[in-house]
Amino acid sequence: MFRHIESTRHGTVDVVRILERRLVDGAPLDDLREEIGQVVGAHRGIHLLLDLGNVEFLASAMLDTLCQLYRRIHAAGGQLRLCGMKPSIAEVFRTTNLDRLFPIHADVDEAVASF
């Protein structure tokens, strides 16, 4: 069904594991946006967890995508959390102060328990 993500459900939380190692501009990022959008769909109040454990590099366009997703989910009464970041990706979030916007957790279990 999906090529760039793996989607599972843990209780009331939709967990999306990003399968791509490099999130760069262009078609792969557009496809990723579309696939995540399908998971979010028209759900009001969705609890979405993005597992970034596979991601080794992300372009600024992906940061913009995450911010748009955050606004969309929160406007619909939902919550978005992130988990599994490699240290280099976590540093990007600290440097850009996005770690203040996104709740970031070590792993899926910790993040799911936080909803």
Percent of residues, the chain, with pLDDT higher than 70: 99
* pLDDT tens sequence across 64-102: 999 999 999 999 999 999 999 999 999 999 999 999 999
pLDDT at position 24, please? 82
41 half-sphere exposure, CB direction, 13 A CA radius = 6
Q: Kindly state the tokens that stand for 102.
A: 């996104």
Whether 27 has a pLDDT exceeding 80, the answer reads no
Q: How many residues does the chain have?
A: 115
pLDDT at position 42, please? 61
User: What domains appear along the chain, each with residue ranges and CATH number?
Assistant: 5-114 (3.30.750.24)
Averaged confidence pLDDT in the chain: 93
pTM value is: 0.92
CA–CA separation, 36 and 64 (whole Å): 14
DSSP classification of residue 3: S
* pLDDT tens sequence across 39-69: 998 677 899 999 999 999 999 999 999 999 9
Whether 28 has a pLDDT exceeding 90, the answer reads no
Q: Are strands 57-58 and 47-51 parallel, antiparallel or unpaired?
A: unpaired
